[in-house]
Structure 1
Amino acid sequence: MQWKVGKVRISKIVELETVGSTRFILPQATKDEIQKLPWLIPHFATEEGRLKMSIHSLVVETPEHRIVVDTGLGNDKEGRNIPTWNDRKGPFLEDMTAAGFPPDSIDTVLCTHLHVDHVGWNTRLVDGKWVPTFANARYLFGRTEYEHWRNHSETPDKRAVFDDAVQPIVEAGKATLLASNAEITDEISLIATAGHSPGHVSILIKSDGEEALLAGDVAHHPCQMAHLDWSSTADSDPARSAATRRQLFARFADTPTLVIGGHFDAGHIRREGDAFKFIALG
């Protein structure tokens, strides 16, 4: 799937798609509640009220750069707290290459945050050692986000993610730490959107008068646009994540800005009552 924003092209590379197995992340999103939001169907939910989500990367091509935003789960990882996320042997890199993006052609990797399902392909296992997957890329991490997980990965699953997907990038000299409002290129800048994680950022793309917002995990699913208080079980600060949702969605509601989620496809935000709804492109 691809979208154009001025001279910028955004391509979605899917690692994993799920239907309905998401209650652990959004427990309030029951089938009955989802069926009350008919604009979610069929693009973001089934007729039965089961959520549709994906784990994916977005390849952002500007006139000068080829950037991967978020890197999914990765292969061969261990210590994840969801069993099926361990020891994966998926074809993600082959799929990227088939789409025209061989790993060596990527010059930048940008992580909206450093959770398990956004950093996995930062590294791959070679001869028993974790090495950068994108050998020619600089990796951009938010400084606040990196320093938090460096200092606060106490649980075994968090420590595993940091040790196999983040720290090897730093040790390889590939990491650059950024302010949460940094400019990346002429077309791309960051927006500080903490709440889901302490240093979460979203990505604003501007080119030839057009705009796109890569929202990351400000919302895991568009149902959170209607229910701003439905904070994910993975949010580090649920109250702040709800406030961030309201602020970010209000900024881009009723505008032509293309919005793409960290786990859902593109659309446009519209105001509806005291909250919002999401209108799919397709």
Structure 2
Amino acid sequence: MFKVGEAAITRIEETFLPTYPLRTIFPEITDAQLEEYMPWMAPHHYDPKSGCILLSVHSWLLKVGGQTILIDACCGNNKVKPGRPFWHMLNEPYLARLAAVGVKPEDVDVVMCTHLHHDHVGWNTINRDGKWVPTFPNARYVFSRPDVDYFSKIDADPKEGPAELGTFRECVVPILEYGKADLVSGGAHRLNDFIEIDSAPGHSPGHVFFKLESKGERAAFVGDVWHHLLQVHHPDWNFPKNSDVNQARASRRKVLDHCAATDALVFPGHVGLPFAGRIEKTQSGYRPHFQP
């Protein structure tokens, strides 16, 4: 567990596996760079045996101000992802892991999604009697309106097919239909006394990040502004799937600058052990401090 002021933050793991080949995701990397970075990359961020990067898929459980908040909802069980065999038809004890830290689905007050890609919305819903219903029945779900609009259009387009492998209609549409979603747009938006939502588009049109402040200490929940620490060393290196590649690079620098300037403890969506750390701004760029 991490502490930021009076906020208690716990990582709820879904999976932590080798996924994509490193050179497929980051074709810019040279042999010399790979050799230079290997001491910190292996074994927590890169699997030399397979040549694949390790990606964690997890939620951040935040308790602050008397509220229980879940940030990002992973892939979910029994979701069809044929192009991603490591996340296809999962059967993970995610809810049991929540229960192990004393949280039942009905205890969650707010679910906040940094964006609406399939690996951040999966546990928004569960299948009950053949129908997708909210997993967290008492929660308000915070979604970005630009993402809802964007994926709604893709989902309705017969040329595109179901948005995000069908998970938009399984994991987002039911929340909207049950009237449990709060949609935020544009720039900074104050959620409560502790959390501000700020825009960081590019990986998706409505990607946001969450700024936390408590008792003079700060944290940032950055979702997929970067997937891997290589993108801190090289902010122009994009993960392949982005709605706007240039916007993604600009947002990455914006968030890196914020984290470095405020000494925020940073909680990414997919970075490996120790899963959270800090960012230092240097003369030549940025340096991550994520030491296991």
When normalised by structure 2's length, the TM-score is: 0.88
Aligned to 1:116: 118
1:155 equivalent in structure 2: 161
User: CA–CA distance in 2 between the matches of 1:34 and 1:258?
Assistant: 26
Q: Post-superposition shift, 1:42?
A: 5.0
- The aligned amino acid for 2:37 is L
1:214 to 213, 217, 221: 221
Describe the SS at the equivalent of 1:37: helix
Against the structure 1 CA distance between its residues 44 and 225, is the aligned structure 2 distance closer, same or farther, given a 3 Å change threshold?
farther
Specify whether residues 78 and 45 from structure 1 end up closer, same or farther in structure 2 by C-alpha distance, changes over 3 A only.
closer
1:79–1:156 contact (8 Å) kept in structure 2: no
- Are 2:265 and 1:266 aligned? no
Corresponding residue for residue 75 of structure 2: 73
In 2, Cα distance between equivalents of 1:232 and 1:121? 23
Name the % identity: 35
Partner of 1:280: 290
Unaligned runs of 5+ in 2: none
Structure 1: stretches of 5+ with no match in the other structure: none
Inter-CA distance 47–152: structure 2 relative to 1 (3 Å threshold): closer
Confirm whether residue 19 of structure 1 aligns to residue 21 of structure 2: no
Cα distance, 1:23 vs structure 2: 3.5
Return the offset for 1:195.
0.7
Does the aligned pair in 1 maintain the 2:19–2:86 contact within 8 Å? no
CA–CA separation in structure 1 for the residues paired with 2:53 and 2:88? 23
Structure 1 partner of 2:247: 240
Separation (CA, whole Å) in 2 of partners of 1:199 and 1:80: 26
Deviation at 1:72, TM superposition (A): 0.3
Give 2:99's aligned residue. 97
Checking the alignment, whether the CA contact within 8 Å between 1:268 and 1:281 is kept in structure 2 is no
Closer/same/farther in 2, CA of residues 43 and 250 from structure 1, 3 Å limit: farther
1:117-156 deviations in whole A, cap 9, x for unaligned? 0000000111111010001101110111111111223333
State how many pairs are aligned.
281
Match runs of 1:82-93 below 5 Å: 82-93=84-95
CA RMSD of aligned residues (A): 2.2
Stretch moving more, 172-181 or 48-57: 48-57
1:3–1:34: structure 2 CA closer, same or farther, 3 Å change rule? farther
Alignment correspondent of 1:145: 147
Contact 2:154 2:163 in 1 (8 A): no
